[in-house]
Amino acid sequence: MLVRGSGIRDVGKVLAISMGCVLRCLLSAAQGLVIRPTYNHYHRVQIDEVYTFVGSKKKKVWLLYAYAQEEDEILALTLGKRSKKTLKDLLKRLGDVRVNFWCTDGWKVFGQVLPADEHLVGKQFTKAIEGVNTCLRARCRRLHRRTTGFSKKVRNHWDAIRLVVHQRNARPSYN
């Protein structure tokens, strides 16, 4: 239910269990989950950022992730501030994956970190990842733009997002 847009309170109410039990199940299910690229080489990888909240609407946290459209796969993700450090963390999580072209929007940090000869900038190159943003926002209540369903702790937030991404990557193409 959590990976289909229901919040912790909703799940607890429907299943007649405590919010603590739901949170323990969330943390247990996310334990050991690792989002890894399937292949060692990708032609084009799109990178985008999605803002979300932890604790209150005043505390923005950014989800940065890499997406391969040809494989319909989220390769890596990270949470943090909208900064060069967070982008470098994302690239580190990709490990030794070779990428021919990085496709991004016009955020200046992308241009500072990614190699210029392998960097494609523009909406025509990021159209697919914008659709994935919509899918993630629909599947994870914590990513809705106008929501009261945000996490109080970064760990719970991170685990919920990883569960959604893992489920999305593991799903058959017809879901």
pLDDT tens-place string over residues 3-42: 777 777 888 889 999 988 888 888 888 888 888 899 999 9
- Count other C-beta atoms under 10 Å from residue 152's C-beta: 12
5 DSSP assignment: T
Question: Which tokens go with 119?
Answer: 């960097």
**For residue 91, how many C-alpha atoms fall within 13 Å in the half-sphere facing its CB?**
14
Amino acid at 169: N
- Count other C-beta atoms under 10 Å from residue 70's C-beta: 11
Amino acid at 106: G
Amino acid at 33: L
Q: Which of 75, 124, 122, 125 is nearest to 99 (CA)?
A: 75
Q: What does the pLDDT look like over 130-149, one tens digit per residue?
A: 999 888 888 877 776 666 56
Predicted TM-score (pTM) of the model is: 0.85
